[in-house]
Structure formats: C-alpha cells, structure tokens
Structure 1
Amino acid sequence: MYDDILVPTDGSESSMAAVDQATAIAEGRATTVHFLHVIDVGTEMSAGASGSIAPQLTETLEEEAESALDDAANRAEEAGISYDRNTREGSPHEVIEAYVAERDIDLVVMGASGRSGLKERLLGSTSDRVIRTVDTSVLLARP
C-alpha cells in the first residue's frame, strides 16, 4: 500500500512514537521508511549564534540529529525494514514539504508534538503546517 513513508524525527518521545508506527506499517512489506531530521536554521539564528559559539551550536545540533537518526535506524533494523536516513537544514515544515515532493512520499508519519517551544505553539506546530501543505496523507502519532 505504501512504497515510501517519511518520518521526520527530532528525537522527542512523540517522534519516536511515529518511528514505531511507521515501522509497524512497513514491517513485512516492500516499503522504505525515510527518517529525516531537520536542523532548524531558525534555532541557530534565534540563539544569537556568532563568533566561537556558532561552531559549537552547529556541532550540538548535528549531534542531536545523529542521535535521533541512530535511534530511528536501530528500531528499523530490529523490525527488519528498509530505511534511509537524511539530515537537512532549513525550516522544518518547508524541508518536509520539499522532501515529500522530491521523493514521491506516500505517507508522512510524524509526532503530534515535538521539541518546539512557546513561540512555535503560538504560531502553529510543524505538524499543523505539514498537514496543510503536503499533498499526501499524514498520520500523527502520540506517545
């Protein structure tokens, strides 16, 4: 039914629930699950990163991305499913929308809430934005 499933992951409890849902859907099928971590360039900007702090912040964000993707990949390997892992920079909902279009994704499985703060809640969550902008089905997972 689904050839390609996208799971945006930030390592949060909610996004790991999405990993579990996607692997359950893909298990025993010829489905590839795409794990995507978006390094929010707005995080770097809003933190006022400059000078010697910028490389340290970038390194921390890259380590968080690798950790989240490692966790997702481990779960996929345990389930015996085909997967790939990607890290991109940008605004999360825009990167997710572009990835869906580029890879002809059949289903997006994402956490209902992630690591966003008050600002994000006031503006609308990444999940809300993705639901409104992608041309494919979106499954929201809760822990």
Structure 2
Amino acid sequence: MFTHLLVPVSRTEAVGRALEVALALAQPAQSRVTLLHVVERLQDTDDEEPCDETDEAFGSFYERLEQQAARDLETAGERFRGAGVALYTKVLLGTRVETLVQYTHEHDVDLVVMQSHPVDPADPARGWNTISYKVALLAPCPVLLVK
C-alpha cells in the first residue's frame, strides 16, 4: 500500500516505537524506508561560506552534530537491514518542520511515521505546537503519529 515511508529520527530513544511501527508496515509491503534526522539550525546563523572565526566554529559544531546523527541513523537502521527492508538514511541541516515537509514533497514519500506525545485529557490543547502535529497538518501525505 505504501511504497516510501519516512521516519523522522531525533537523538532520543523516544522514537523506538515509531521505528517498530514503520518496520511492521514496510516488511509485508516491501516498502522502502528513509530514516531522516534534521539538525536544527540556530537562528541568525548562515550555512553559506564562513565569514569569520565565529561562523567557522558554527560549521564545525554542525559538522559534529551531522556526523553523530549519521552514526545514530546507522544504528537505528540495523533492524531494517536485518529484516531485508530497503533502507536509506539522510541527515539534513535546517528547520525541522519545514525540512521534513519539503522532503516529503521532493522524494515521493507516501507515509510519514512519527513519534508523538500522548494527549493529556486535562489539557488537550497543550501539544498543538509540537513538531509532529505541525508535520501532520502540513505534509502532503498521510502522517501516522505513534504515541
């Protein structure tokens, strides 16, 4: 049913359930899965050519974050490879919501599987400003929020 699943992966262990669900969906359908980590850019920094020592320090900072994220994605992807699922990993630099939504447009993603927070019945509106809810509203494809 779904041919390309996107699983946004943060540096927390909280995405484990989303990975399990994506694997369960991908295996019988022989779908390909992309694990994507977005390194959030700090405001008021530029990823163009460094202009001074401060910009070079930011470049080194982002480079270390990207390398660590790539290692984390490789580790997270082991269970997919072991199950014979076609797996791709990608690390991008940008704003998380915008980058995730743009990626779905540009890479023919037909399902996003994302970890989300459980809704608190005492304060259900509290989580409307989360990344997962924003992606769910803005993505051009279905989004499965795993709680």
TM-score above 0.5: yes
Name the counterpart of 1:57: 61
Bigger RCO (CA 8 Å, 6+ sep): 1
Question: What residue ranges of structure 2 are gaps of 5+ in the alignment?
Answer: 46-52, 118-125
Offset of 1:42 from its aligned partner?
2.5
Distance in 1, matches of 2:84 and 2:26, equals: 9
Name the counterpart of 2:137: 132
Question: What residue ranges of structure 1 are gaps of 5+ in the alignment?
Answer: 114-120
Q: Pick from 81, 84, 91 the counterpart of residue 85 of structure 2.
A: 81
Name the counterpart of 1:9: 9
Name the counterpart of 2:39: 39
Offset of 1:82 from its aligned partner?
0.8
Q: Which has the larger radius of gyration?
A: 2
Offset of 1:137 from its aligned partner?
1.0
Matched AA of 1:103: H
State the Cα deviation string for residues 91-129 of structure 1 (Å, max 9, x = none): 11111101111112111001115xxxxxxx888211011
Alignment of 1:16-35 (within 5 A): 16-35=16-35
- Contact 1:44/1:57 (CA < 8 Å) preserved in 2? no
Matched AA of 1:41: R
Consecutive aligned runs of 4 or more in structure 1 exceeding 3 Å deviation = none
TM-score by length of 2: 0.78
> Aligned Cα RMSD in Å?
2.5
Matched AA of 2:85: I
Distance in 2, matches of 1:75 and 1:11, equals: 17
Distance in 1, matches of 2:115 and 2:23, equals: 14
- Contact 2:70/2:90 (CA < 8 Å) preserved in 1? no
Matched AA of 2:71: S
